[in-house]
Amino acid sequence: MRKMLAAVSRVLAGAAQKPASRVLVASRNFANDATFEIKKCDLHRLEEGPPVTTVLTREDGLKYYRMMQTVRRMELKADQLYKQKIIRGFCHLCDGQEACCVGLEAGINPTDHLITAYRAHGFTFTRGLSVREILAELTGRRGGCAKGKGGSMHMYAKNFYGGNGIVGAQGQIFEAYNMAALWKLPCIFICENNRYGMGTSVERAAASTDYYKRGDFIPGLRVDGMDILCVREATRFAAAYCRSGKGPILMELQTYRYHGHSMSDPGVSYRTREEIQEVRSKSDPIMLLKDRMVNSNLASVEELKEIDVEVRKEIEDAAQFATADPEPPLEELGYHIYSSDPPFEVRGANQWIKFKSVS
């Protein structure tokens, strides 16, 4: 009997679960899926928007939970490593914004292309890189996804074009809108509106804070970016819109970052601790998903706790690797300047110091 129940539990737990899970959920039957109401999106130049209800399967729910928790703990680990000076330079964390990267990925295909700015660790993970490769890149080691040469803001993966450090081209975005609309490019422009541009609130920086309308002739959606299901449905809607040949579309995700702009910004000189606390207690994306899943019997509290434990371990292992892995070899300083070129010599700090450059 016990064996049969254990077998049933493994089936119910689904492919998303690691075989090492020690949770015996044999005595409980979970729902396969549940239907949830999600917030209606504000629309710009659209007759209809994404649906206001969505079905979440247990399998997907557990996957999203694990992914968001992984991003959360990965970012907190990065915070820790930065304070220990093991991560250097700039470090822009996205804790609080997990529903954005995980929800986005849930609404698109791995073959779609994604590019973002410097708050990129979450996207690097959802686009398929491991926590190990990400943390090792943050610590500047050879096992990092860019071999230690890029750092926090310059992580790339298949169909993921970074990680970019230079932003603020407000004019360029309008140029992009124009060409995308003119040529009907299947492009979703996404604004993760976390209320602040570094230390300046949106009210002080934007003549109109209705970013989803700023595409003017491009239709737009304003989405609850703290609700992963809302993000997923909006993304599915936007992707379908583009794929049908109608041209570009805008999505504004209303979200929040718990950390300051970067690790050099305490994040409390331009906003109150009360504000941060309020978002954490009322709108935390991981908490919202957890409550939904537990309340609709898609998962148990214990099961989710078990995932937390597994995620913690995964992050710890990755951090261990990221701290122990050696730095890239000095001989490779000149590598990868050009692609597909024969090797050549690179000048160092003076004419007698030479490095080899290999493509």
Partner 1 sequence: MAAVSGLVRRPLQQMTVRDAINQGMDEELERDEKVFLLGEEVAQYDGAYKVSRGLWKKYGDKRIIDTPISEMGFAGIAVGAAMAGLRPICEFMTFNFSMQAIDQVINSAAKTYYMSGGLQPVPIVFRGPNGASAGVAAQHSQCFAAWYGHCPGLKVVSPWNSEDAKGLIKSAIRDNNPVVVLENELMYGVPFEFPAEAQSKDFLVPIGKAKVERQGTHITVVSHSRPVGHCLEAATVLSKEGIECEVINMRTIRPMDIDTIEASVMKTNHLITVEGGWPQFGVGAEICARIMEGPAFNFLDAPAVRVTGADVPMPYAKILEDNSVPQVKDIIFAIKKTLNI
Give residues in contact with partner 1 (CB under 8 A). Answer: 88-90, 137, 140-141, 144, 146, 148-154, 164-171, 197-200, 204-206, 269-270, 327-328, 330, 332-334, 337, 346-353, 355
| Closest separation in Å from C-beta 168 to partner 1 | 3
Q: Which two tokens stand for residue 192?
A: 């993760």
109/339 with CB nearer partner 1: 339
| Closest separation in Å from C-beta 356 to partner 1 | 12
110/348 with CB nearer partner 1: 348
Measured CA angle at 58 (ends 192, 313), to 5 deg = 70
Q: Do the beta carbons of residue 97 and residue 126 sit within 8 Å? A: no
169/309 with CB nearer partner 1: 169
Report helix, strand or coil for 351: coil
| Closest separation in Å from C-beta 96 to partner 1 | 20
What stretches of 153-289 adopt beta strand conformation (E)?
188-193, 196-197, 200-201, 220-224, 249-254
149/312 with CB nearer partner 1: 149
| Closest separation in Å from C-beta 218 to partner 1 | 20
271/312 with CB nearer partner 1: 271
4/166 with CB nearer partner 1: 166
| Closest separation in Å from C-beta 214 to partner 1 | 13
| Dist CA 338 CA 359 (whole Å) | 6
| Dist CA 293 CA 36 (whole Å) | 10
| Dist CA 129 CA 123 (whole Å) | 9
49/334 with CB nearer partner 1: 334
Report helix, strand or coil for 126: helix
Q: Which two tokens stand for residue 184?
A: 């009907």
220/267 with CB nearer partner 1: 267
What stretches of the chain adopt beta strand conformation (E)?
33-37, 42-44, 53-57, 188-193, 196-197, 200-201, 220-224, 249-254, 344-347, 354-357
| Closest separation in Å from C-beta 195 to partner 1 | 14
| Dist CA 103 CA 105 (whole Å) | 5
Measured CA angle at 40 (ends 36, 41), to 5 deg = 130
| Closest separation in Å from C-beta 119 to partner 1 | 14
| Closest separation in Å from C-beta 270 to partner 1 | 7
